[in-house]
Chains A and B, each alone.
Chain A
Amino acid sequence: MIVVAEPGDDKSVRAVSRRTRLLNLLLFVITCGLILEVCARIDDWVAFGAPLLERYDHSRLLANDDDGVQHNVPGARFQKWRINRLGFRGPEVSVPKPPGTSRIICFGSSETFGLYEPEGRDWPSVLGGLLSDAPGIEVINSSVVGLTGSKRLAYFDRYVMPAEPDVVILYVAFLEYPKLAPRAREERAASAKGAGTRPATPRPPIRAGAIIDNIRVLPKLRLAIKKSLPPKIATAISTEVTRLQLRRRERQVLGDAAPLERVNAEDLDAFERDLEDSVVGIRRRGIAVVLTTYPTLLNGKNQFLYEQVLIDFRRVLPVLSRQGVADAAGLFNDRIRRVARRLDVPLVDNDALIPKTTEYFGDNVHYTEKGAELVARNFHRFFEASRASAEQHQPR
């Protein structure tokens, strides 16, 4: 409604002034939003050499081959993460391997790739530093975030083999394995059918959502606000937000089905089979394998101490209940130990060696700088012991 102010007409003057105020507010919001976004982009450009106009998020680091094998993009860079020309995190690696060099490849997913640690403090880098006194040993971080068990060997052949590894530390995550029980899966599908809905297919991204994802200042502001709030309030808000997100995920994934109190035996078997295939496959290529258990912060004893971590982790694994999540690592780690025994593979039991506190874990599965250092030291001890034993058994 356009109101024309006439002298002495108080109501219309008030309406105009209200409209002016509203327009000012709009101008304020638009200008602030634009300038904040420009600042965020300039900031990224100065700090990380990020492009000013393109999309800038962690997806820059990853790509899929035609057959769906996920790998790091050679030469990619996102914030502190840099990928070398061979597609590994860390400094450049010479190919072919210089004579007299032994290469230890750390082969895992995000926990090995490094998330919370500063640059050069992920555990493979720390291990490299610790082994630097041994001549000719190189440690390479060949991990890919989200690499699945079924594609592990394909990735290995295509991207890791060119680096000519001598030893592979196989750090296997279990997050993709826990699934709903077959009956629950059937019920979920039936209920979806009964409701007249189509089976879940990947939805095209909503345009507004895509625009919001491209706004770089929002996550920065969120983090800044979180940092400025008193820790108790920040944690409480964060926990509640995560709880809401978990409920949404549960609705999406579980529907009416209840989350599992315990991982299905068939999923554990599938995990064990995949792990065994990987070990055998890598060995068949003439490369030694070292296994490790998969340490997690949460277990049956401390699950109530780290409420937020538990809720956050359940977002990743909504098929498991609180108890299911707390027990999962133990069950999968038992299978890792079993494979190690059966195939006679050396095992570094990191799950038993790392204290279950937030001093070492940034969340349920990723390390803090201190945690990464401890993992590296555990492997270092193992290699030192192996070297000592090899020297002892060498014919004189």
Chain B
Amino acid sequence: MTFNSLPLVAFVVLVYASYRLLPGRYRNTLLLAASYAFYASFDWRFLGLLLLSTSTDYYCARRIAALDAKDARRRFLAVSLVVNLGVLGVFKYFNFFLASAEDVLRLVGLDPPAAALRLVLPVGISFYTFKTISYTVDVYRKRLKPSTRFSEYALFVAFFPTLVAGPIDRAGSLLKQIQSPRAARWTDVPEAFALFCWGLFKKVFVADNLLAVTNAVFSNPGPHTGPAVVAALYAYAFQVYCDFSGYSDMARGIARLFGYEVMNNFERPLFATSLQDLWNRWHISLTSWIRDYIYYPLALTKVLGRRLDVRVLTIVTFVIMGLWHGAAWNFVAWGAYHGSLLSLAIMLKPWMNRAAGGWTPRMSRWRSALKPILLFHLFALGCLLFRAQSMGQVVSLAFDLTRGYSQLAPVLPTIARVLLMFLPVLVFEYLQGQRQKDATFVLGYPRVLRYAMFSAGLYLVAMHGAKTESFVYFQF
């Protein structure tokens, strides 16, 4: 039951109707049951893992809060981390590390027996594991009081709008909302509707239609011409953004319907003015998680009496972020690529600032205008690593990228189509930026205009939307 399907709409309507009819004290229970039913619709067998993770962290957090001794507290934190990372490691990384070890052994002339576990990656495991880890760590750091009701904590972990692909909301925000009494208000409905519809438009009309352009290169053996690879990279950059931000908006919309405020995962990243700014706007819940639970602790750690260099630290955290996305070397390379870019930007910043001091206002205006375009191209180039199925494909496509530009003309219509497809998103986000709000800014428009925008969007989704069963980030 994915967000872009009619059964999901029917499910949400049913749950919402029951939610409104039930007295307040039963609403969390209803949402918990609905969340488990939603998760079971993907594969009921993985409910066990979800429950294991939930009960472990619920218990460990309560024990940590109850204890004063640092060692004892640490022991329970370790139990939580071992269970969570262990499950994640087995299901997501075991085969990757095994295959990598086999490759290394083969390199040194040994012939290891082929071994692999036949495991299916449970949907949303990376998302809810990070959620539960952050909860236990926050309790350990005494920033949060543990939940005293299992059902509340279980709902925080399994809250169905954010369960399978985030945003990775923190307990400080979502759990507190779950614990406090809430009224389902009619006034939330238009906002929820606006967010959901905008997300659906991005997913079904933009992302799913761009899939064909992306697949034409990435799912076909080459060789391809440089312009064809460029078109595929543009398409994938827009596709992955619209797919994931579309999902996040839909998740926020559904959560809003039930009176919950879920964090905004994307803050118009295509309007970023620097690489740092880009990563402050892209998949915010993950980047802020990595910053708070990996980057800062590592920055405070001394190795051989010295703190880690900020540039090395940046690369390391980005590599971890790459690995979070998937157990494959291309994701490691993707993390290293973005980490290196960011380190380079940090290194060059003083020099750039000095150089910019001597620029005329006209040159500065040009610089401001060209920056997002440059950033987009750097990001799109990174998509080569992100989308490729193997490092072999990365190398072959990188080679393809450098040649065949005499055959630009046949690919130009495709590139134009990709840009045209994305244009509504760009215009919408520009207008959104003017109002400094999320997609709900449209509610400030006159009714007739709002309804007209909705109808035109609905038409494009229903008639020209391509239908794919899944979201890009479901695989993570």
Contacts and interface: CB of A to CB of B under 8 A. Distances in A.
Interface of A: 24, 27-28, 31-32, 34-36, 39-40, 43, 217, 220-221, 224-225, 227-230
26 contacts: A28-B451, A31-B447, A31-B448, A31-B451, A31-B452, A32-B451, A32-B454, A32-B455, A32-B458, A34-B455, A35-B452, A36-B458, A36-B459, A39-B455, A39-B456, A39-B459, A39-B460, A40-B459, A40-B463, A43-B463, A221-B462, A225-B462, A228-B5, A228-B6, A228-B467, A230-B7
A221 B454 CA distance: 15
A374 to B, nearest CB: 29
Contact of A227 (B451, B454, B455, B467): B467
Given A32-B455, A36-B455, A220-B463, 16 more contacts: A28-B451, A31-B448, A31-B455, A32-B451, A32-B454, A35-B451, A35-B452, A39-B456, A40-B459, A43-B463, A217-B459, A220-B462, A225-B6, A225-B462, A228-B467, A230-B7
A69 B200 CA distance: 50
Contacts of A35: 451-452, 455-456, 459
A35 B452 CA distance: 6
B350 to A, nearest CB: 53
A226 to B, nearest CB: 10
A43 B462 CA distance: 12
Contacts of B6: 225, 228-230
> Which 6 pairs of residues, A with B, have the shortest CB-CB distance?
A35-B455, A31-B451, A39-B459, A224-B462, A32-B455, A228-B6
Given A43-B463, A220-B463, A227-B467, A27 B448 contact: yes
A383 to B, nearest CB: 37
A27 B446 CA distance: 12
Contact of B451 (A27, A39, A224): A27
Nearest to B6: A228
A27 B447 CA distance: 8
Contacts of A220: 462-463
A24 B458 CA distance: 19
Interface residues of B, number: 16
Interface in B54-87: none
Contacts of A36: 455, 458-459
Contacts of A43: 459, 463
Contacts of B455: 31-32, 34-36, 39
B388 to A, nearest CB: 32
A214 B95 CA distance: 59
Contacts of A27: 447-448, 451
A40 B454 CA distance: 15
A40 to B, nearest CB: 7
A36 B452 CA distance: 9
A123 to B, nearest CB: 29
Interface in B420-476: 447-448, 451-452, 454-456, 458-460, 462-463, 467
Contacts of A40: 459, 463
A35 B448 CA distance: 10
Contacts of A229: 6
Contacts of B463: 39-40, 43, 220, 224
A187 B460 CA distance: 53
Contacts of A34: 455
Most buried by A among B7, B448, B451, B459: B459
B470 to A, nearest CB: 15
A29 B462 CA distance: 17
A229 B5 CA distance: 8
A27 B455 CA distance: 12
Nearest to A32: B455
A220 B460 CA distance: 12
A24 B460 CA distance: 24
Contacts of B454: 32
A228 B208 CA distance: 14
Nearest to A39: B459
Nearest to A43: B463
Nearest to B452: A35
A224 B215 CA distance: 24
B201 to A, nearest CB: 14
A211 B102 CA distance: 71
A40 B460 CA distance: 10
B45 to A, nearest CB: 21
A300 to B, nearest CB: 37
Nearest to B449: A31
A52 B7 CA distance: 35
B256 to A, nearest CB: 19
Nearest to B9: A228
Nearest to B462: A224
A35 B7 CA distance: 26
Contacts of A225: 6, 462
Contacts of B458: 32, 36
A184 to B, nearest CB: 44
Most buried by B among A24, A39, A40, A43: A39
A227 B5 CA distance: 10
A39 B464 CA distance: 11
Contacts of B459: 35-36, 39-40, 43, 217
A113 to B, nearest CB: 25
A166 B452 CA distance: 57
Interface in B7-22: 7
A36 B454 CA distance: 10
Contacts of A228: 5-6, 462, 467
B128 to A, nearest CB: 27
A359 to B, nearest CB: 22
A229 to B, nearest CB: 6
Contacts of B448: 27, 31
A28 B455 CA distance: 9
Contacts of A224: 462-463
B209 to A, nearest CB: 15
Contacts of A32: 451, 454-455, 458
A32 B448 CA distance: 9
A160 B452 CA distance: 49
Contacts of B467: 227-228
A34 B458 CA distance: 13
Contacts of A28: 447, 451
Nearest to B464: A43
Contacts of B451: 27-28, 31-32, 35
A36 B455 CA distance: 6
Nearest to A28: B451
Interface in B236-280: none
A80 B452 CA distance: 29
B447 A24 contact: yes
Nearest to A33: B455
Interface in B107-122: none
A294 to B, nearest CB: 35
Contacts of B456: 35, 39
A170 B5 CA distance: 46
A36 B459 CA distance: 6
A381 to B, nearest CB: 35
A154 B459 CA distance: 45
A281 to B, nearest CB: 46
A40 B463 CA distance: 9
B422 to A, nearest CB: 19
Nearest to B465: A224
A24 B7 CA distance: 28
A58 B462 CA distance: 23
Contacts of A217: 459
A204 to B, nearest CB: 33
Interface string B1-40: 0000111000000000000000000000000000000000
B377 to A, nearest CB: 31
A155 B454 CA distance: 50
Nearest to A221: B462
Nearest to A229: B6
